[in-house]
Amino acid sequence: MQLNEAHLQNFCRTALAEDVGSGDATTLAVVPEGLETEAHFVARKECVCAGLPVVRALFGELDRKLVFMEYVKEGELCPPGTRMATVIGNARAILTGERTALNILQRLSGIATLTRQYVLALDDPHTKILDTRKTTPGMRMLEKYAVVTGGGQNHRIGLYDRIMIKDNHREMAKYAGPDSIARAVRACRAKYPRLEIEVEADSMDDVAAAADAGVEYILLDNMSDAEMVEAIKLVRGRARLEASGNITLERLPRLRGMGLDYISVGALTHSAPAVDIGLDIMN
């Protein structure tokens, strides 16, 4: 997944405006104008690096004369003590951007690190780990970028790029009569013929109805291991199957080789802990 330059610029400007406001009062009062310094981003704990291009863009918004050097690649595993990047130049600009830069790098590296853990725990080349739409408002594209950097894949980006008929959609469709899944699928095909369709299934009846309706994907929602095995046999390859709900690192080895196409994990973005990364100022 590539970061869009215009989106990156807008995000950085919004983030800086939120933090800086009318000015960095402490830095403007304490740090001499024109003073230059050098600062290193250092991993305090092992992590998968993600977010350096965002940090580079952020410092570019503060002072285009700042020199930003990256020592590791995106997606690279960084042991504790790894110098990830260095920024050199105006001390006021560096100190003003410090917290926002760290927030971004710690957050995105945390997502990439957790994603790598899920991918390694599953250890199944046939089944892909996916993210969800459970992202921080305003940061979705960056967080999904971090998932890919950690070795996962993106699910739909938003409400516009795939049809997903969830339980509440099915409940609303019931007002028009029985066979709500088939009816909802037909309506979606008619209105958005170019979009693929996924149906969230809570039972074997839902799975059968979705497969018979010819959808591209079926989401097996909060099903047990045994129920998912049954669903795989029932579908017989007519749709790609995605497991979701109650997916933990401990459970993943049991799902290895089951025959699932995807496993989606909301925790990748909504519960990933920030990685401990510091910015060390050099005198």
Active site residues: 99, 134, 166, 200, 221
Q: What is the DSSP letter of 76?
A: -
CA distance 101 to 68: 12
Residue 8 dihedral angles phi and psi, to the nearest 5°: -65, -45
- Alpha carbon of residue 227 to chain centroid: 28
Beta pairing, strands 67-70 & 163-165: unpaired
- Alpha carbon of residue 26 to chain centroid: 34
Instruction: Note whether 147 and 154 are within 8 A (CB).
Output: yes
103 is in an annotated binding site: no
CA distance 175 to 20: 51
166 is in an annotated binding site: yes
133 is in an annotated binding site: yes
Give the number of C-alpha atoms closer than 13 A to the C-alpha of residue 87, restricted to the C-beta side. 30
- Alpha carbon of residue 114 to chain centroid: 10
99 is in an annotated binding site: yes
CA distance 132 to 135: 7
265 is in an annotated binding site: yes
CA distance 29 to 259: 62
244 is in an annotated binding site: yes
246 is in an annotated binding site: yes
221 is in an annotated binding site: yes
Instruction: Note whether 96 and 18 are within 8 A (CB).
Output: no
Q: Name the burial class of residue 22, with classes exposed (0-12), middle (13-18) and buried (19+) by CB atoms within 10 angstroms of its CB.
A: exposed
Residue 243 dihedral angles phi and psi, to the nearest 5°: -90, 140
What is the chain's alpha carbon radius of gyration, rounded to the nearest angstrom? 23
Annotated binding site: 99, 132-134, 156, 166, 200, 221, 244-246, 265-267
Annotated binding site for substrate: 99, 132-134, 156, 166, 200, 221, 244-246, 265-267
